[in-house]
Amino acid sequence: MKKIISTPNAPQAIGPYSQAVVAGNLIFISGQVPIDPETGKLIINDITAQTEQVMKNLEAILTEAGCSFENVVKTTCLLSDISNFKAMNEVYGKYFPKNPPARAAFAVKDLPLGALVEIEAVAVK
């Protein structure tokens, strides 16, 4: 059985998907783009600021699911330009100061709404 996680503290889905789904003791968090949940708009076109917003969105969903970044076991980071990897990584690393999760990072052609970064996560309760 699955349970849907939704919080107003993260952007609402921009398509037919849930912010997160709990299945057993796993939480699958949909890819988050740098939308400010208060305005519903993509934040400024800066990889550092966008990554910070993405991480805040992930944190809000994790909190709603009763978890934290310590529960995250896997992430996938999507970048519109691989040259942004270093700057994204610096922000990302602040949220995983010890025992970081497994991760994959890819450059892709385009991301929703013209975002520079999107990150999805899997956590364990």
Q: Is the pLDDT confidence value at 14 over 90?
A: no
- What mean pLDDT is reported for the chain? 96
- How are the residues of the chain apportioned to helix, strand and coil, as percentages rounded to the nearest 5? 30, 35, 35
DSSP three-state, residue 14 = coil
Percent of the chain with pLDDT over 90: 95
User: For position 29, what pLDDT does the model report?
Assistant: 98
Q: Which tops the pLDDT comparison, 113 or 1?
A: 113
Give the closest residue to 50 by CA, choosing from 37, 64, 36, 40.
36
Q: Is the pLDDT of residue 13 over 90?
A: no
Distance (Å, whole) CA 8 – CA 13: 11
The enclosing domain of 11 has a CATH number of 3.30.1330.40
> Could you give the number of structural domains in the chain?
1
Domain range for residue 29? 2-124
pLDDT at residue 60 greater than cutoff 90: yes
For residue 15, what pLDDT is reported?
87
3-state secondary structure of 8: coil
The stretch 78-86 carries a mean pLDDT of 97
Q: What is the mean pLDDT of residues 3-27?
A: 95
Position 21, amino acid: V
Mean pLDDT for the stretch of residues 35-52: 95
